[in-house]
Amino acid sequence: MLDEALFAGMDISKGLVMDLRRMNPWWEGKPLPVLPVTRRHLVAAIHRRLDSGLAPIVVVRGPRQVGKSTAQMHVIADLLERGTPANRILRVQCDELREIKALGGEPVLRLVDWYEHAILREPINAVARAGGVVYLLLDEVQNLRDWDVQLKFLVDHTTLKVVVTGSSALCIEQGRDSLAGRITTIECSTLSLTEIGEFHDMGLGAPLLADNGLEPLVSKQFWSEVAAEGRARARARDAAFALFSERGGYPVAHRRPMAPWPQVADQLNETVVRRVIQHDLRTGERGQKRDPALLEALFTLACRYVGQAPDVWTLAREVQRTLAANVGPQRILHYLWFLRDTLLLRLVVPLEIRLKRKRGFPKICLADHGLRASWLQEVVPLDPEGLDANPHLGSLAGHIAESVVGATLMSIHGLDVAHIAARKDQPEIDFVITVGTRRVPIEVKYQRRIDPMRDTEALRTFIETAVNNAPFGILITQSDGPHDLDPRVVSLPLSSLLLLR
């Protein structure tokens, strides 16, 4: 029997109270859902941000099905294990229950009002003044209108710690603007290589890049150490990379390692791609007007042009052929950015746009190459042994490898990543990362044999152009070596690059 006093006088239904209790079983001493034994690095990152006290709100953003909700539950389990009273933790899943949205224009504030009255039974600030901490965890918060304004009001008048997750780059970015000074952001992408190593008990070790600084990325010594550490971990690294090549980085592909790939592919298509295209991008009054057939056709083209920067007229022509409809380039560009906002893909803009010198087109990098394999039903190996057995896939594997590099770099929060298209006085540069005034060019030559002169020409040209302020460059290859390159170029295989995270 529910205590009528728990919702008497509050604008909240009995049904929603029951749902909130099911979301928070620890209030009544009931067990949490069964959680995976292997944890993502994200769990420790959330704890570090909460413990630092630098900002009251920790925002975790990433595409669907990468483990954000599970990480929240692991954090809650840890808090309870450490002795946090059960009634000081409130978690709300915001993407499923219509009754939450029915609370009106300020659902977050109304839920906290009810929680203080019915569960905590004292003001949150009273807990804080007595030395305690109250935790609010909101999952898929982008589904609530004005969530950022409500959280701003809440943390400005209440002392508590908040963890929110979201699958929309646009909504989270808008929230960051509203919550300036009150927020710290964590990027959550698919499994890193070190996490795949943990999932399969390979002893690959910890990530090589800390999650709280970008300065190492413009240090030649750091990249030389990454290359050396990759060689030192070669056996476990290569084994984990072979699994990444075969199954991508979505957790579902590695928590069920015996599941056949076709089953995993069906799961990814249903719970990630179609969920985004048919639901996430079509929620709200404006979203309902978006054409799901166009979104699907454009995502298919993004998979086919992965690692490349096609012009919008080419994409428009191909969509017109597919749909037998007149679709203009401007609409194509808008829909491409809609897909980017779901974090299913990353768009690397040309450096020329950043410098406001000329127009260009974004390079398409998928959140994970497993999405391409599942959606197109076309598995392309990335590991050297797999490519040796399928040499005809070498060129396509090169584009996919470039996409993997781009997605990895863009998952590093705060890192400025661009690319340079070929022009008369400058060869194409696959990626340029910028930290402060320093730039580092990165070229992907995904092949067994490297020509020390031809394959480093673009890097050397960029380095020798003084205005670029680039003291060194990075060459990403299939395997370790070569060692006879220009001393200003650091060479490392894609598998070692993936040890960053």
| Residue 111: CATH number of its domain | 3.40.50.300
The verdict on 125 and 253 lying in the same domain is no
The verdict on 332 and 451 lying in the same domain is yes
Q: What span, in angstroms and rounded, lies between the C-alpha atoms of 437 and 469? A: 7
The verdict on 145 and 252 lying in the same domain is no
Burial class, 439, CB count within 10 angstroms (exposed 0-12 / middle 13-18 / buried 19+): buried
Tell me the mean pLDDT in the region 350-379: 85
Decide if pLDDT at 483 tops 80: no
Task: For residue range 252-283, list pLDDT tens digits in order.
Answer: 999 888 999 999 999 999 999 999 998 888 87
The verdict on 156 and 240 lying in the same domain is no
pLDDT value at residue 4: 45
Kindly state whether residue 259 falls inside one of the protein's structural domains: yes
Tell me the residue type at 75: V
Kindly state whether residue 237 falls inside one of the protein's structural domains: yes
Tell me the mean pLDDT in the region 290-318: 96
pLDDT value at residue 111: 93
Which pair of structure tokens corresponds to residue 107? 């659902």
Q: What span, in angstroms and rounded, lies between the C-alpha atoms of 71 and 60? A: 10
pLDDT tier at 469, thresholds 50, 70, 90: very high
pLDDT value at residue 170: 62
Kindly state whether residue 268 falls inside one of the protein's structural domains: yes
pLDDT value at residue 96: 61
Number of folded domains that form the chain = 2
Could you tell me the residue range of the domain that residue 168 belongs to? Answer: 4-188
pLDDT value at residue 279: 84
pLDDT value at residue 353: 53
Q: What span, in angstroms and rounded, lies between the C-alpha atoms of 52 and 219? A: 27
Kindly state whether residue 467 falls inside one of the protein's structural domains: yes
151, containing H or E segment: helix 147-157
Tell me the residue type at 431: F
Calculate the average pLDDT of the chain.
Answer: 91
Pairing mode of beta strands 429-435, 438-444:
antiparallel
Q: What span, in angstroms and rounded, lies between the C-alpha atoms of 208 and 495? A: 13
| Residue 23, CB-side half-sphere exposure with 13 Å CA sphere | 23
Decide if pLDDT at 444 tops 70: yes
Q: Considering only CA atoms, which of 188, 183, 208 is closest in space to residue 411?
A: 188
Tell me the mean pLDDT in the region 3-23: 73
Kindly state whether residue 246 falls inside one of the protein's structural domains: yes
pLDDT value at residue 168: 77
Kindly state whether residue 205 falls inside one of the protein's structural domains: no
pLDDT value at residue 416: 96
The verdict on 373 and 274 lying in the same domain is yes
The verdict on 147 and 241 lying in the same domain is no
The verdict on 70 and 115 lying in the same domain is yes
The verdict on 102 and 247 lying in the same domain is no
Which pTM was predicted? 0.92
196, containing H or E segment: helix 193-199
The verdict on 151 and 265 lying in the same domain is no
Tell me the mean pLDDT in the region 441-460: 94
Q: What span, in angstroms and rounded, lies between the C-alpha atoms of 298 and 87? A: 47
Last residue of a domain, one of 168, 188, 208: 188
The verdict on 472 and 357 lying in the same domain is yes
| Residue 333, CB-side half-sphere exposure with 13 Å CA sphere | 11
Kindly state whether residue 206 falls inside one of the protein's structural domains: no
Q: Where on the phi/psi map is residue 481: left (φ > 0), alpha (ψ -120 to 50), or beta?
A: left
Kindly state whether residue 429 falls inside one of the protein's structural domains: yes
The verdict on 67 and 177 lying in the same domain is yes
Q: In the chain, what is the straight-line distance between the N-terminal and C-terminal CA atoms, in Å?
A: 48
The verdict on 221 and 144 lying in the same domain is no
pLDDT value at residue 7: 47
Tell me the mean pLDDT in the region 328-343: 93
